[in-house]
Amino acid sequence: MQVISKISRQKNNAERYNIYINEEYAFAVDESTLIKFGLTKGKVLDQFEIDEITYEDEIAKAFNRALNYLSFQMRSEYEVKKKLLDSGFGEAVSLEAIRKLEKLGFLNDETYSKALLETRKKTAKKGPRAIRQDLIKKGIDKSTQEKVLETFTYDEQLKVAMGLAEKAVRSNANKTPSQVKQKIQDLLARKGYSFAIINDILDQINLEREDDEWQGMIELQGMKIWNKYASKYTGSDLKMRVKQALYQKGFPIEIINRFMDEREHDEL
- By the 8 A CB rule, do 33 and 17 touch? no
Q: 85-122 pLDDT, tens per residue?
A: 999 999 999 999 999 999 999 999 999 999 999 999 99
Residue 218's pLDDT is what? 83
Average the pLDDT over 36-48 and give the result: 92
pLDDT higher than threshold 80 for residue 211: no
The reported pLDDT for the residue numbered 132 is 97
**Amino acid making up residue 54:** T
Write out the H or E segment, with its range, that includes residue 26. strand 24-30
The reported pLDDT for the residue numbered 265 is 66
Residue 167 has pLDDT above 90, yes or no: yes
Long-range contacts of 169-173 (CB under 8 A, 24+ apart): 169/205, 169/206, 169/207, 173/213
Fold entry, domain 109-149: Arc Repressor Mutant, subunit A (1.10.10)
pLDDT in tens, 5-34: 999 999 888 889 999 999 899 999 988 899
pLDDT(256) > 90: no
What are the pLDDT digits (tens) for 192-203? Answer: 999 999 999 999
Mean pLDDT of the chain: 91
What confidence tier does 255 reach under pLDDT thresholds 50, 70, 90? Answer: confident
Taking CB atoms within 8 Å and a gap of at least 24, the contacts of 202-209 are: 202/165, 204/162, 205/162, 205/165, 205/166, 205/169, 206/169, 207/169, 207/177, 207/180, 207/181, 208/177, 209/176, 209/177
pLDDT at position 266, please? 62
Q: Is the model's pLDDT at 267 over the cut of 80?
A: no
2-103: CATH number:
1.10.10.10
CATH code, residues 154-201? 1.10.10
